[in-house]
Structure 1
């Protein structure tokens, strides 16, 4: 059975009532070992940066934030080197509206960036860094993955994409994103 995904901010009693007997795993950057390793912030190292042959990042989030272009700031490859899981995010409050993401020499819009940068990068980590944990998940029975958002629709741009939904999809079908 595929894992379920639920919001991290829900209470334990609510989760237990909706998913009786299921193992609850927090896969965010606040989660416990080893499940925190599913967080896009986790510094796996050696993560290929799309559009930049021979360039690598410590984390998926480093790629995503490092390639983001704002009205007041271009891409920041320094984000690729962050290993602390802190100070990776870049915000519109500081840099102005997001214009897109760098993919090679091209500036691509948000949905395309999700499909051509985020999804392949997260899939690479699932394949090359998290295989043993994915297999553990597949053998655990009823599991609920906690994340800050539950959006699994890559085309739904008003809500951040849930990496827990990507894990769910990978565990159940070997596909990341739709």
Structure 2
């Protein structure tokens, strides 16, 4: 059977026509228990912060936002402690253009957009899938063995290198369920600097 990723804004009728008989699973921050736990906004706690030497964050989104560097402000480690799934965003409207993501809270190097996806976002979300929600991943794998599954997300792009389109965590989840994993190696020759908008995660947001 097949695992699909579809936009959460699609109507039930539209999903039913496109994926007849499939199991529909919302994996966004607006989902019900237990599937909301697959959202990168969910505050699992204990998520290792890349390049930090032992620092942890509550959510994947908190880790991503904490290490973001803007023209007018540097990293914000308070985002690592947010447990409400709210107040996580840091926007260009407030802080100016994004310069990159810092390689660790006190690191000197700024990562470009694709490098930040591969070195920060992917390993953080993979850690959650392997260490906090492995039971849900197994449930999805068992369901997908019997019928088609549709994962609902706010975006559907699973190509980490497609910087013009938001990265879908549901697509990363699908890869995990299917036993595949995008590369977490730094892309060669990428310079830091402003990225295409918006960023990985849920909803349409700035970098």
Q: Could you say which TM-score interval applies, normalised by the shorter chain? A: over 0.9
TM-score (norm 2): 0.83
- 8 Å Cα contact 2:40-2:59 kept in structure 1: yes
Cα pair distance change 1:149/1:142, threshold 3 Å: same
> Could you tell me how far apart the structure 1 residues matched to 2:35 and 2:103 are?
30
Structure 2 stretches lacking a partner, 5+ long = 185-207
> Could you tell me how far apart the structure 2 residues matched to 1:116 and 1:47 are?
14
Q: Is residue 3 from structure 1 mapped to residue 3 from structure 2 by the alignment?
A: yes
- Equivalent residue for 1:12? 12
- Equivalent residue for 1:85? 85
- Equivalent residue for 2:195? none
> Could you tell me how far apart the structure 1 residues matched to 2:2 and 2:60 are?
23
Cα deviation code 1:85-130 (max 9, x no counterpart): 0000111111111110011311111110001000011111111001
> Could you tell me how far apart the structure 2 residues matched to 1:151 and 1:61 are?
17
In the TM superposition, what are the counterparts of 1:85-164 in structure 2 within 5 Å?
85-104=85-104, 105=107, 106-140=109-143, 141-164=147-170
Q: Give the alignment's Cα RMSD to 1 decimal.
A: 1.2
> Could you tell me how far apart the structure 2 residues matched to 1:45 and 1:96 are?
29
- 8 Å Cα contact 1:47-1:58 kept in structure 2: yes
Q: Which runs of 4+ in 1 moved over 2 A?
A: none
Structure 1 stretches lacking a partner, 5+ long = none
In the TM superposition, what are the counterparts of 1:2-81 in structure 2 within 5 Å?
2-81=2-81
